[in-house]
């Protein structure tokens, strides 16, 4: 069984789609160090593991940039991402089950009369489709030194998804100005 890495698809600028579980508005962030833990945590919801507690450690809480909802990072996965992760988890469970049952066939000398035949599972799902580029506005997050992509028409205050800092609202005509004062 060949296992490939599992990651969220990115657009051409390197952003991953997220969606608020409350207001259901889309936004995009660049992948971060906690994405792997968020994916593992969501996979564990579909495929129980003996060491599931290890995936809980270090799972951050994020904030919706629009409504400010605070939730664990895996709650911001889109429905399509969650559906894909469920398919991957089920496929992995089938492969693990097959390997456990096929072990009897491989060690037949130890058990000459098996009462079952292991049936090979289907192939693991491939990667998700690439993330399309769309008209989302890139806004800098001075608090964390990152960028976020928000809906173009959003002109109200917004929150940093990572640290939760509140940023003032911007209309399409306003710009961020940073003034450096030298003494």
Output the pTM of the full model. Answer: 0.76
Q: pLDDT tens digits, residue range 99-121?
A: 888 877 777 666 666 666 777 88
Which pLDDT score, from 0 to 100, does residue 53 have?
66
Which pLDDT score, from 0 to 100, does residue 27 have?
96
Q: Which two tokens stand for residue 45?
A: 């919801």
Q: Identify each DSSP E strand in 95-178 by its residue range.
A: 136-141, 146-151, 158-159, 166-167
Which pLDDT score, from 0 to 100, does residue 134 have?
80
Alpha-carbon span 105 to 108, nearest angstrom: 5
Alpha-carbon span 87 to 84, nearest angstrom: 5
Select from 164, 145, 171, 176 the least CA-distant residue to 67: 164
Residues of the chain scoring pLDDT < 50? 1-3, 171-179
């Amino acid at each position: 069984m060949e296992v490939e890495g599992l990651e969220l698809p990115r657009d051409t600028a390197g952003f991953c789609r997220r969606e608020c579980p409350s207001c259901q508005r889309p936004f995009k962030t660049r992948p971060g160090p906690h994405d792997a833990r968020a994916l593992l945590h969501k996979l564990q919801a579909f495929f129980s593991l003996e060491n599931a507690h290890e995936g809980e450690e270090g799972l951050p809480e994020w904030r919706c940039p629009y409504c400010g909802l605070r939730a664990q990072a895996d709650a911001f996965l889109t429905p399509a991402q969650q559906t894909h992760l469920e398919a991957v988890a089920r496929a992995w469970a089938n492969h693990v089950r097959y390997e456990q049952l096929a072990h009897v066939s491989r060690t037949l000398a130890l058990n000459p009369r098996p009462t079952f035949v292991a049936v090979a599972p289907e192939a693991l799902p491939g990667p998700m489709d690439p993330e399309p580029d769309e008209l989302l506005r890139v806004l800098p997050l001075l608090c964390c030194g990152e960028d976020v992509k928000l809906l173009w028409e959003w002109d109200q205050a917004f929150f940093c998804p990572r640290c939760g800092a509140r940023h003032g609202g911007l209309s399409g005509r306003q710009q961020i100005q940073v003034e450096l004062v030298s003494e």
